Amino acid sequence: MIQRIERSWDERGEVRFICLEDLVSQDHLLRKIEKAVDFNEIYPLVEQYYCEDNGRPAADPVMLVKMVLLQHLYGIRSLRQTVKEIEVNIAYRWFLGMGIDTAVQHFATVSYAFATRFPGELCEKIFAWILEAAVAKKYVRAETVFIDGTHIKASANKNKKRKELAAATARVYNEQLWEEINADRESHEKKPLKDKPDEPPAEKETTVSTTDPDCGVFRKGENEVQFAYEAHTACDTYGFVLGYEVTPGNVHDSVAFDKVYDKVTGTFPEIRTITMDSAYRTPWICKRVFGDGRQASLPYKCPMTKDGFFKKYEYVYDEYYDCIICPNNQVLQYSTTNRDGYREYKSNPKSCVNCPHRSMCTESKNHQKVVTRHVWEDYIELADDFRYTPEGRRSYARRKETIERVFADAKEKHAMRYTHIRGLARVKRWVGLKFATMNLKKLATWAAILLDSYRLLRLFCSFYMLNPSSAT
């Protein structure tokens, strides 16, 4: 039986003289962050958005930025809740430079600053500023980069939707592909294809949310369908986020690749290997990476053929004679290069009609087998060759420790699984701040570990200098 303990006093009403500095432990994460970066560098980033000597004194922009960083650092669901947490959390007050009884800024002030006063570029500048600090300390190792995408559930009711006709997204490499198609046709003594007439882009029917029209339909699993955004992300060997791009959830990874690739390679020209999953195994991406003198580390992709039929790799390409050899040792001759960039190799129907393997090869009425090969297929073969090298095996095996870990931490520790923000521009700012805080957390933690190691080394050196005999 538990006995009630009578207390002679209640400590909740005590009045003491206590320094706020002493209430925050020395190994607290916010202390490490305060030492890792100079937050005064924020002032030059935002000074252009403030007017001089006009109106009431503005809220300190450093405090506004720090409040937003606190929200994303600890995965707090909203700015309103962040303000409530700051009111009672001593470590948060210390980080913001506030006294224990100082009034906290209203959440609407912070929300207005990032939604109206500051443009979206400021979040990108904050992300770049933290990343530059990590690069300056030589924490970033960008020789090998990992690129992938993760979906973020949108704040949209999946039952509130409508059908719309939208223009299909034009491929960035259309003009280059068209030129190479005609060059390939001319090399095979075929007439070049006529230029396409100026026509409006093809339209396709899409499902649009009436709650948040900027998000896209994402099919999760076999049956679940939801509206979502997708964060296409690149990170280095140590898990520092190097670049990102946010799109609707129905945009394929390979479509958003070019923007992410251009951002990352423009900032880190020393990149040598790009590691991706099978969604990026396309002729254009392989050509883009290998054409720039880099390596593309990609996995094996199972052939998408019917059960019981020959796989595509069983049809061997003869580069010298420019033909295809089928499993029955029959030759498929070059026929044409179509508008999609694929060379068509066709068999002789007279040879196929009595072939014992015809049921495993083709079901065409004229008994003719057609095998296609992209004009950029050689670059995919380079990726297949690189997959078997020690570097290729090692880089792809590290995906689970790098980009997959980044997504796991972002969703579990920083509340990126679901967003209550609506609109593509606002979601992009939201994602950028989360990745910025993740880099900041890693930067501060590493800096503290190295500082402790340095102090320990100095202690040992001082001890051995005072006691030379103990060194032996």
**Mean pLDDT confidence for 101-129:** 87
Residue 200: pLDDT band (50, 70, 90) is low
Its domain, for residue 426, covers 138-294+379-435
Tell me, yes or no, whether 280 and 316 share the same domain.
no
Tell me, yes or no, whether 190 and 289 share the same domain.
yes
Tell me, yes or no, whether 224 and 338 share the same domain.
no
Tell me, yes or no, whether 391 and 250 share the same domain.
yes
- Cα–Cα distance, 393 to 282 (Å, whole number): 19
| In-domain check, residue 164 | yes
Tell me, yes or no, whether 288 and 346 share the same domain.
no
**Comparing 198 with 461, which gets the higher pLDDT?**
461
Pairing of strands 144-153, 273-275: parallel
Question: CB–CB of 209/227 below 8 Å?
Answer: yes
Angle between the N-to-C axes of helices 61-73 and 79-88, in degrees from 0 to 180, rounded to the nearest 10: 100
The confidence score (pLDDT) of residue 3 equals 63
| In-domain check, residue 70 | yes
| In-domain check, residue 467 | no
Query: Smallest Cα–Cα separation from 376: which of 464, 296, 470, 257?
Result: 296
Q: How many CB atoms lie within 10 A of CB 389?
A: 12
pLDDT digits (tens, 9 = 90+) for 225-276: 889 999 999 999 999 999 999 999 998 888 899 999 999 999 999 999 999 9
| In-domain check, residue 472 | no
pLDDT digits (tens, 9 = 90+) for 146-156: 999 999 999 99
Q: 36-59 burial by CB neighbour count: b if 16+ within 10 A, else e? A: bbebeebeebbeeeeeeeeeeeeb
The confidence score (pLDDT) of residue 196 equals 61
| In-domain check, residue 469 | no
Beta-sheet strands, E only, within 72-223: 144-153, 161-167, 203-209, 216-220
**Mean pLDDT confidence for 23-37:** 92
- Which of the 8 DSSP states describes residue 203? E
Tell me, yes or no, whether 197 and 266 share the same domain.
yes
Tell me, yes or no, whether 190 and 249 share the same domain.
yes
Tell me, yes or no, whether 350 and 337 share the same domain.
yes
- Cα–Cα distance, 435 to 45 (Å, whole number): 18
Tell me, yes or no, whether 343 and 399 share the same domain.
no
Tell me, yes or no, whether 149 and 281 share the same domain.
yes
Tell me, yes or no, whether 263 and 151 share the same domain.
yes
| In-domain check, residue 335 | yes
| In-domain check, residue 288 | yes
The confidence score (pLDDT) of residue 202 equals 65
| In-domain check, residue 1 | no
Split into its structural domains, the chain has a count of 3
Tell me, yes or no, whether 272 and 247 share the same domain.
yes
